[in-house]
Structure formats: C-alpha cells, structure tokens
Structure 1
Amino acid sequence: MIPLPSGVRVWIATGHTDMRRAMQSLALAVQESLERDPHAGDLYILWGRRGLLVKILSHDGLGMSLYAKRLDHGRFIWPSTSVGAVSISAAQMAYMLEGIDWWTPQLSWRPQSGG
C-alpha cells in the first residue's frame, strides 16, 4: 500500500503516457503537460494506452518515489476527459487500484472460482 499523508491530493493525468518512461521523465511530463509541481507532495497517477498499467509518482519531501501496478484481469477505469488532470480522493484511488470503477464502485472483473 502506498503511504498517504493526511491532506495529500491525488491527481489522475488524463490522456496516455508512455509506460517506458522513468521517474525523471514522468516528473518532467507532470511539470510540462499538467503544469504542476511534481515535488509539491501530491500524487500523480499516469496510465498506459491499453489501461492495464498505471504508474504513481510522489515526492515525500526527501525524494521521489515511483510505484507501478498492473492488473491481471480487467482494466483501470479512467476519466474520459482528454486533456489535463482530474483530482480524486484517496478512497477513490484505492478503488481504482483494485480495478473497481471509482465513479460508481463495482468490480470490473470478478473471479469465477477460488482456485
């Protein structure tokens, strides 16, 4: 689980991001395309074209962290806005990272059996 200090803002970057990019390149993308400071302590969630992988960029005051999550089944639910960033709550981020539709919480995929 990603440590979230109280009051942290979570931003979803709309549009697609090249998932081959590393931490510094993603921080530059946040700064240039979203016009936000990647070192301000907010979390930025970026996603790939297929919607199976997200990367989360954060800065805790000491250094930059990069988290990645790939879904085995289903896809991440993403806003339909094409430009900019959308602010969501930490609870909505937790839903999204589990593959649950964070607009209306429902599983996007459910296992058929336990084995």
Structure 2
Amino acid sequence: MRCGFGSLAAKVQTVLERDPYGGHMFVFRGKRGDLLKALYWCDGGLCLFAKRLEKGRFAWPRADSGVVALTTAQLSLLLEGFDWRQPVEAARPRSAL
C-alpha cells in the first residue's frame, strides 16, 4: 500500500464519492490484511495514520456498497486488531455471596 495523502483523498472522492475534507475517517487495508491507513481531516489539514500488525490480520467488514459505517467502539476494536464482528465476553470470576 503505497498511497499517501493525495492518492487516498482521490480514492475517497472518485471511488467512494465522499468528501475527504468533511471530518469523517476513511480507513484502508493493505492486500495482506496486516496494514491499515486512516485518512482524517482535522483542524485545517489531512492526517494520515498507519498501523501494521506484527501477527495476524485486521478483521475487515464486508462492504457490499463500498462503504461501511462503524461505531466508535467497532473502530477502536478494529484498530487494536480484535475481531469486532464476533465479540466474546471475557470470563469473569463469580462473586462469592
């Protein structure tokens, strides 16, 4: 994934038909699934964030229309490398009564 600010902003405009300067975050995944780039407009400038996992792949949502809207919690889990599509409740110790 060699795209930078200009290339990703152009993809947002042409492929997704969205405004990259509208304040939304646009997240792109590399072909192998271990690299993410996020493009975000903030305070008069574009921000580009990148994250690569040492092990595993990012759980990527199915996008039938090309665009998927995630909640803040889903995005947070995605960026941390968790499979947000199938959350599993952590085992909690039982409280003694």
In terms of Rg, which structure is larger? 2
Q: 1:54 to 1:29 in 2, by over 3 A?
A: same
Is 1:44 aligned with 2:26? yes
Q: 4+ residue stretches of structure 1 with deviation over 2 A?
A: 80-83
Is 1:24 aligned with 2:1? no
Deviation at 1:80, TM superposition (A): 2.7
Is 1:63 aligned with 2:45? yes
List runs of 5+ in structure 1 lacking aligned partners. Answer: 1-18, 107-115
Q: 1:34 to 1:25 in 2, by over 3 A?
A: same
What is the number of equivalent residue pairs in this alignment?
88
**The one of 54, 58, 66 aligned to 1:76:** 58
For residue 26 of structure 1, give the secondary structure of its aligned residue in structure 2.
helix
After TM superposition, the score normalised by the length of structure 2 is: 0.85
Q: Retained in 2: the 8 A contact 1:95–1:105?
A: no
Q: Report the RMSD for the aligned CA atoms in angstroms.
A: 1.2
* 1:49-91 superposed Cα distances (whole Å, 9 cap, x missing partner): 1000000000014100000000001100012335511000111
After TM superposition, the score normalised by the length of structure 1 is: 0.72
List runs of 5+ in structure 2 lacking aligned partners. Answer: 89-97
